[in-house]
């Protein structure tokens, strides 16, 4: 059972104390009754501020959905169609997004992250003048530094360098930091924060050493610092608290059931969701049923409940992706091409209309709202990231093959043999394919394709929905036009 950090509910604690929903996320001058000259802040006040950091930092609800959708629908395996949402996802799938469209680029990937950074900066400026114990101060500061650095790591992944705001007194017209400055800040902050973070969290969703190591590992993976990837993967393994989830006849399916969350040791960090709070709820499963007349799976593994809502928009997997799995691979079983409809008829989906049941229907779903957490890092990612880095350093070795086979074994896929991969290039391609099978619909496809130099070519040469005009500059997102308009020192990314 998950014991949640109060996330959105925690905002209620600090309403009237801090402006968490200001029109300008960079402004921090409104704090209600408290100021730095009022004396030490109480522990309750600081807990409220900490919750305010987490509330803006955590990508859940619509923001988490959009984060995953942008990564996967701009890639090659999955797509979205029908309903009002498809008019928005079309910008992503057709590769014609720009600095103004879709509008959620600014809201999800710029405004909310900078609101988290704003809250973090204020917290760090107040915490030393508080009634927290020395131990509490160190841990709280480490959590907030983790949240701020992780936010910058995400933004660096999307935009490249951005204005590096570390104080509430920073001017509104800051220039973008240099690439070296961005990397140094992310790497130093996360490494320092990890020293004071606990190995296990008191409340689900709070930062841990493993989370900081994991974000650093993925940052180094995407910047191709292979030795550092291995270093941080080893640090995660040395903690001795993480492992692949292997319970049940189909552990991969069970891993993505809401009932499993918080009780397994594979998830290193995730953004919590609950069906009880609309702003944190996960809508992906509501968008993933095969059709509106869905009643049950053919094998009876799922029967739709009356409280579960089927959205008009549809998330789909292409046939070529479904058919790329081995027949007995459990991960393939999450992609559905047959179902029983409301008339008790067996329906076979039309070509390329496969439904994605990655997030197994939540029995406590309230209409479209599910409680599936947005997983950011799993132990499977540690194994495959380490394998990728070792292959780049030393070429194919038995250790690399063993790491990949550990992930494949859980899914009942066949064992890879070292003799079948004589070159670094061949094994590199196999690792990218393995990551596609393991992490579909987890918000990783875009960065994986970019790192492997295949993001643009995968879209240009797509077998079903090619975009011949796909441009190289789209490996970075555009700075929102509103930011360009209000900040004369802001320079747009090339091509936009």
* pLDDT-derived band at 270, boundaries 50, 70, 90: very high
* pLDDT-derived band at 31, boundaries 50, 70, 90: very low
DSSP-derived secondary structure for 200-227: S-SSBT---HHHHHHHHHHHHHHTT-HH
Mean pLDDT, residues 220-229? 98
Question: Tell me, what's the pLDDT at 104?
Answer: 86
Q: Tokens for 467, please give them.
A: 């975009």
Instruction: Reply yes or no on whether the pLDDT at 106 is more than 50.
Output: yes
Question: Tell me, what's the pLDDT at 29?
Answer: 37
Contacts of 15-20 spanning 24+ positions with Cβ under 8 A: 17/45, 17/48, 17/49, 18/48, 18/49, 18/52, 18/119, 18/122, 20/52, 20/55, 20/56, 20/115, 20/119
Closest by CA position to 57, among listed 270, 241, 275? 270
Domains for the chain: give ranges and CATH numbers: 7-224+479-486 (1.25.40.390)
Whole-number average pLDDT of the chain: 93
Q: What percent of the chain has pLDDT over 90?
A: 91
pLDDT digits (tens, 9 = 90+) for 364-411: 999 999 999 999 999 999 999 999 999 999 999 999 999 999 999 999
Closest by CA position to 297, among listed 308, 286, 289, 306? 289
Mean pLDDT, residues 472-490? 97
Instruction: Reply yes or no on whether the pLDDT at 258 is more than 60.
Output: yes
Question: Tell me, what's the pLDDT at 44?
Answer: 95
How many C-beta neighbours within 10 Å does residue 82 have? Answer: 16
Q: Tokens for 216, please give them.
A: 């650093």
Q: List b or e across 213-247, with b for residues whose CB sees 16 or more CB atoms inside 10 angstroms.
A: bbbbbbbbbbbebbebbbbbbebbbeeeebebbee
User: Which pTM was predicted?
Assistant: 0.94
**Alpha-carbon torsion, ordered 6, 8, 9, 11, to 10 deg:** 110
Q: In what order do the strands lie in the sheet with 335-336?
A: 78-81, 314-317, 354-356, 335-336
**Residue 78: its H or E element:** strand 78-81
Contact 454, 436 (CB under 8 A): no
Least confident of 5-14, 195-204, 287-296: 5-14
* pLDDT-derived band at 35, boundaries 50, 70, 90: low
User: What are φ and ψ of residue 416, in 5° steps?
Assistant: -80, 150
**CB-count exposure of residue 317 (10 Å: 0-12, 13-18, 19+):** buried
pLDDT digits (tens, 9 = 90+) for 316-345: 999 999 999 999 999 999 999 999 999 999
Name every residue whose Cβ is closer than 8 Å to that of residue 30 and which is 6 or more positions away in sequence.
18, 19, 22
Strand partners, 79: 316
Question: Tell me, what's the pLDDT at 474?
Answer: 97
Q: What percent of the chain has pLDDT over 70?
A: 92
């Amino acid at each position: 059972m998950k014991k949640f950090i109060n996330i959105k509910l925690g905002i209620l604690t600090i309403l009237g104390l801090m402006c968490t929903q200001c029109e300008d996320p960079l402004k921090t001058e409104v704090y209600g009754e408290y100021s730095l000259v009022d004396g030490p802040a109480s522990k309750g006040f600081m807990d409220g501020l900490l919750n305010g950091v987490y509330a803006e930092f955590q990508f859940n609800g619509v923001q988490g959905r959009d984060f995953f959708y942008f990564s996967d629908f701009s890639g090659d395996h999955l797509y979205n169609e029908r309903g009002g949402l498809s008019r928005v996802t079309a910008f992503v799938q057709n590769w014609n997004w720009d600095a103004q469209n879709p509008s959620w680029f600014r809201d999800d990937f710029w405004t909310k992250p900078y609101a988290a950074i704003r809250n973090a900066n204020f917290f760090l400026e107040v915490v030393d003048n508080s009634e927290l114990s020395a131990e509490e101060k160190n841990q709280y500061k480490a959590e907030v530094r983790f949240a701020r650095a992780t936010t910058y790591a995400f933004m660096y992944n999307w935009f490249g360098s951005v204005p590096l705001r570390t104080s509430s007194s920073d001017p509104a017209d800051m220039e973008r930091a240099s690439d070296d400055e961005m990397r140094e800040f992310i790497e130093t902050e996360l490494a320092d924060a990890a020293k004071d973070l606990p190995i296990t969290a008191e409340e689900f969703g709070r930062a841990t050493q493993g989370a900081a190591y994991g974000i650093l590992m993925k940052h180094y993976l995407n910047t191709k610092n292979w030795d550092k990837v291995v270093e941080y993967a080893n640090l995660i393994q040395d903690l001795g608290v993480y492992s692949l989830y292997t319970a049940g006849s189909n552990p991969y399916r069970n891993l993505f059931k809401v009932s499993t969350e918080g009780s397994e040791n594979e998830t290193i960090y995730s953004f919590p969701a609950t069906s009880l709070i609309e702003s944190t709820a996960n809508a992906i499963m509501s968008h993933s049923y095969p059709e509106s007349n869905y009643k049950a799976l053919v094998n009876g593994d799922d029967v739709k409940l009356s409280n579960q809502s089927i959205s008009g928009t549809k998330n789909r997997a292409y046939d070529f992706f479904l058919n790329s799995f081995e027949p007995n691979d459990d991960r393939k079983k999450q992609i559905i091409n047959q179902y029983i409809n409301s008339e008790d008829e067996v329906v076979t989906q039309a070509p390329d209309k496969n439904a994605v049941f990655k997030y197994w229907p939540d029995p406590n779903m309230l209409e479209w709202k599910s409680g599936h957490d947005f997983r950011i890092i799993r132990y499977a990612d540690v194994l495959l990231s380490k394998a990728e880095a070792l292959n780049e350093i030393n070429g194919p070795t038995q250790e690399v093959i063993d790491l990949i086979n550990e992930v494949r074994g859980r899914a009942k896929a066949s064992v890879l043999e070292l003799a079948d991969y004589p070159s670094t290039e061949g094994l590199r391609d196999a690792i990218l394919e393995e990551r596609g099978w393991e992490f579909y619909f987890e918000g990783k496809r875009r960065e994986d394709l970019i790192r492997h130099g295949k993001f643009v070519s995968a879209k240009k040469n797509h077998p079903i929905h090619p975009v011949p005009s796909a441009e190289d500059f789209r490996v970075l997102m555009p700075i929102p036009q509103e930011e360009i308009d209000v900040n004369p020192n802001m320079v747009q990314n090339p091509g936009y």
